Structure 1
């Protein structure tokens, strides 16, 4: 049973689990919390989301924005999020340093309250889940690497389960064998759903996520449709994934000679939001949607309905996804990109991201993801107990290397996974180099004679 291939898989499975388990637990627990962020936020921030200012005077949306900017004079409105009733309208305001603030307007467009986005429930969990609160390329790569190695753990565990006939119940099984069996059984059951969850989370990753998006843009027939000229905004979290980094058309320049790109929402030549909303309705766009202000003097208004915004009350069905561009001066419709325009890759992730977040098909999606995540924590628990029950005091008790021969099946699996997940492949090269250095050191280590 324990041939060279099995032994190699077992050792790699053991060491990978040993190093990345703390990170996997963190990602799983934060993912569970994020599944229910809309439910939590609806209760935590009910005064902001559904409350009233108690003022009876009705303002236009533009007057509401002006009032908000007067209250926070160093901030400029960059986004307006119009939600279905009973939700209030939410403004995203940004200052010159890039700091943001959420401000809520009631049905009369009067100010209800405001938030620091950094400390909202969803953003805290998102920051923990994606970058461990630290951010930066190295940390993002570490999180992505843990996800890639988790896939290897699942696949190698599946191999060892069937190769070692672990699921076959022994007549007089001891505690370690029972733990090992539960570890293998639950791991086998959740392998496919867990791999789906991991892969649907990769569009956010630093290395593979950029690779996926670049491939999507470079091949419009399978990815995202082509637009031209200038990026739509500097902060595009409410725009669909498929068009989030796409290039957008430009607005006409005849009405703004000499205007700069500072405080673009106060540009006197820019169409007012109320008039823009008439154009939005005329194009059949219904709430919820987000309006993203232009970030340059030839930029456009971007109006988006997305299935993966991460904003309570804003997500829609993948079929409803659309990104529309309007001239910022005339309000004229320029172009539109909808779900039907996506290539197969973009369509896959348009479905995959809300599946990962747990809101593709309502509560059943949340419960399914919850069960898979809890089961994954169970797999980690039983695997850890199995190791402790076989671990000798003072020793790591790693699986023995029974053969120095190179396992061809293992090499093939590693190459395939390395191609699919480039960061995983790079990490394997580093591991191989470390193994080589250690092997050379062992070989050069003098032999001590204990005969005397």
Structure 2
């Protein structure tokens, strides 16, 4: 009986060791692929959290004006001043100043793309113009989504977001206390030693892990595959935008994401209504803006003009306080709201998703939200840099320094099973994982030169 018990303990320890090795190797490969992207996402995300503050300080020369006692000029006059500065341009969107010291931002459509003109609402002076593609926050946003790389780069970010969740889950397993005396809540050694960087990586990742996973998951609704599936689910279950509001409204074949300058996730796939009073004269921008104000829209709402004779004026705002998010489609001939929808009208899945997005962007709970998300971004950068330094200190000369293979193949069944589960939850990440595990097991393990290089 003693021999049997000892044998069982040995097998249990061996299985635990093999499982640890397998997950460590998987964690290493996932990190090696994801770390450069995670650092980019964290740096650009940190900047985007403070986009309004950056606008009001670095770019105050065009976004901030001196409050005056006189009434602001009509929106149409401000647009005319912008058109005078940009001959031949047409209006794409008018953003309300939002306060006594804010400038009006007027989007102007030109042959070279959209240009933002910032106009003093009291004097009509054009304070500055900048191409939308060159506006600072737009550049940061495009870097964050890898839009500069190409249309399919969004899928790379989606795969990396899934990897971030995998790294958190596998990292927590590796961090879990196993009789070690440090590296759980404290950092051992000094920066000259590998253990210092190992503990920095582990402790930072463990304590920020839930928030890192939240950032990854709350960013996925904007992705192509995962986000597209979420939109389909919301539409099919009636938990997205309230489609019933369009039941008695004539609609065009265009959706909001293509017709509006700025649109939230929930409203992207909603159809654009059509105006139905073409025998009358259009109401014009001034009346459309006045309707939006009379309806109590939150400051800094944006009005998109109709694209043609059947289109509508659309006033939309997606403010820091999610409860005030609102979209109103206004008949361009009668001035009557055709569809008026706010956050309270969204379905349950849309409400949850929008809340996650708002927190992700540092908007919902003011400065505390911004600082919490900033701390999470800093944790991502710190943990990633610590992982790289730890690897470089551990890596043998001329080799990759990959964690060792398990001594037994028994754990690979469970590993494949985990890969399949993650593949179902995160399709693009799952495909990359399956490819990664297959190459490791079927190629690297069986080709001696590769096996030595990756040792």
- The equivalent of 1:240 in structure 2 is 264
Cα distance, 1:436 vs structure 2: 5.8
Q: What is the TM-score of this pair, normalised by structure 1? A: 0.84
Cα distance, 1:13 vs structure 2: 0.7
Quick check: 1:26–1:129 contact (8 Å CA) kept in 2? yes
- The equivalent of 2:301 in structure 1 is 289
Which of the numbers 116, 124, 128 marks the counterpart of 2:143? Answer: 128
Cα distance, 1:245 vs structure 2: 2.5
Match status 1:94 vs 2:109: yes
Cα distance, 1:236 vs structure 2: 3.1
Change (3 A) 1:130 1:370: same
Question: Which consecutive residues of structure 1, in runs of 5 or more, have no partner in the other structure?
Answer: 257-268, 307-314, 446-452
Question: Using the alignment, how far apart are the partners of 1:233 and 1:19 within structure 2?
Answer: 32
Q: What is the TM-score of this pair, normalised by structure 2? A: 0.84
Change (3 A) 1:440 1:414: closer
Cα distance, 1:352 vs structure 2: 1.4
- The equivalent of 1:224 in structure 2 is 241
Cα distance, 1:95 vs structure 2: 2.4
Quick check: 2:67–2:100 contact (8 Å CA) kept in 1? no
What are the within-5 Å matches in structure 2 for residues 250-399 of structure 1? 250-252=274-276, 254-255=278-279, 269-306=281-318, 315-399=319-403
Question: Using the alignment, how far apart are the partners of 1:200 and 1:429 within structure 2?
Answer: 24
Change (3 A) 1:413 1:109: farther
Which of the numbers 197, 220, 234 marks the counterpart of 2:215? Answer: 197
Change (3 A) 1:104 1:169: closer
Change (3 A) 1:27 1:167: farther
Match status 1:158 vs 2:172: yes
Quick check: 2:25–2:404 contact (8 Å CA) kept in 1? yes
Question: Which consecutive residues of structure 2, in runs of 5 or more, have no partner in the other structure?
Answer: 1-12, 451-455
Cα distance, 1:100 vs structure 2: 0.6
Question: Using the alignment, how far apart are the partners of 2:371 and 2:148 within structure 1?
Answer: 26
Question: Using the alignment, how far apart are the partners of 1:51 and 1:191 within structure 2?
Answer: 42
Change (3 A) 1:57 1:371: closer
Question: Using the alignment, how far apart are the partners of 1:215 and 1:419 within structure 2?
Answer: 15
Quick check: 1:161–1:167 contact (8 Å CA) kept in 2? no
Cα distance, 1:52 vs structure 2: 6.8
Match status 1:405 vs 2:410: yes
Cα distance, 1:189 vs structure 2: 0.3
Report the 3-state secondary structure (helix = DSSP H, G, I; strand = E; otherwise coil) of the residue aligned with 1:425: helix
Change (3 A) 1:50 1:219: same
Match status 1:434 vs 2:431: no
Report the 3-state secondary structure (helix = DSSP H, G, I; strand = E; otherwise coil) of the residue aligned with 2:126: strand
Change (3 A) 1:415 1:332: same
Quick check: 2:75–2:285 contact (8 Å CA) kept in 1? yes
Match status 1:38 vs 2:49: no
Change (3 A) 1:225 1:33: same
Cα distance, 1:441 vs structure 2: 5.6
Report the 3-state secondary structure (helix = DSSP H, G, I; strand = E; otherwise coil) of the residue aligned with 2:137: helix
- The equivalent of 1:119 in structure 2 is 134
Cα distance, 1:440 vs structure 2: 8.9
Quick check: 2:67–2:101 contact (8 Å CA) kept in 1? no
Question: Using the alignment, how far apart are the partners of 2:361 and 2:230 within structure 1?
Answer: 19
Quick check: 1:358–1:366 contact (8 Å CA) kept in 2? yes
Quick check: 1:166–1:181 contact (8 Å CA) kept in 2? no
Question: Using the alignment, how far apart are the partners of 2:299 and 2:33 within structure 1?
Answer: 46
